[in-house]
Amino acid sequence: MADIALERVTFAFGSSRAAQLPVLQDVSLQVERGEFVVLLGPSGCGKSTILNLMAGFETPQQGRILSQDRLVTGPSPSRGMVFQQPLLYPWLSVFDNVTFGPRMQGLPEADWRPRATELLQQMGLQRHHDANPWELSGGMKQRVALARAWIMRPEVLLMDEPFGALDAQTRSLMQELLLETWRRLRTTVVFVTHDVDEAILLGTRIVVMSARPGRIREQINVPVAAGPRDVEVLASDPVCRNIKAHALHLVREEARRHLAVQ
């Protein structure tokens, strides 16, 4: 039983047939418990659309989306989403942003307070407990967004280029933090990026998408996924170097195709 699955999904934007923009065509994808699946593809190929379908924000014209064998018909706290822009509530403190979900669900404080404290500590935010969002750097804001998603104990965490707006240094720290937390909590993750290095660093499986209308072009397992993985290990490992060259080739080819169909 997959934690999240797309079954022969076809999706287009636009209501009238003539004005339709086909985005996904017959896409099937199964994500198993504890996997870290990276969707890799050129801009505009439908990566965000796949996440939005998985989240239940959009409905496919054909095919279906299943979450542990249940049909996805709308958003659910069991499928958490982290966007490129952290979208924090500006009028709430860091702590109140992180605990917003469980408080809205009316869960008892004894349930969420210890988890919030632990997550804030893991994210290096304990000193910023009472800070306002506008006082935080981009990386800190994104850590608050991660803690806010994780406190819900989601079955699946959907991440849409979450580090795309960060500077290279912060981005690399955030990638490490995400990997550490994922290793500890083993949440199933579907992560979108157009960056091949990021895909290989994070993913246990890389799903390369074709240009619009998006299809799955190829799936690549990353064999070092379970072991220690950092930029240096990946750069020196010949298997990873081959995967990188191959993935780069595929993405460049699809990016050129995307330019041609635009």
| Residues engaged in binding ligand ADP (CB under 6 A) | 13, 21, 23, 41, 43-49, 212
The residue among 13 and 89 lying less far from ligand ADP, judged by its C-beta, is 13
CB 220 within 8 A of CB 208: yes
Q: Which residue, 47 or 171, has its beta carbon nearer to ligand ADP?
A: 47
Tokens 């249940």 label which residue? 70
Query: For the purposes of burial, counting CB atoms within 10 Å of the CB of 38, is it exposed (0-12), middle (13-18) or buried (19 or more)?
Result: buried
d(CA 100, CA 26): 37
Query: Could you say which of Mg ion, ligand ADP, none residue 49 binds, taking C-beta under 5 to 8 angstroms by partner kind?
Result: ligand ADP
One residue of 12, 38, 48, 144 binding Mg ion per CB under 5 A = 48
CB of 214 to Mg ion, least distance (A): 11
Among ligand ADP, Mg ion, none, the one that 45 touches (CB under a kind-dependent 5 to 8 A) is ligand ADP
| Lookup result for tokens 């404080």 | 109
In angstroms, the CA 92 to CA 86 distance is 14
Nearer to ligand ADP, 58 or 155 (CB): 58
Q: Can you list the alpha helix ranges (DSSP code H) found in 123-216?
A: 138-150, 168-185, 196-202
Binding-site partner at residue 80 among Mg ion, ligand ADP, none, CB < 5 to 8 Å by type: none
Which region among 26-34, 40-48, 201-209, 247-255 touches Mg ion (by CB under 5 A)?
40-48
Count the neighbouring beta carbons within 10 Å of the beta carbon of residue 236.
Answer: 9
CB of 18 to Mg ion, least distance (A): 25
Positions in the binding site for Mg ion (CB under 5 A):
48
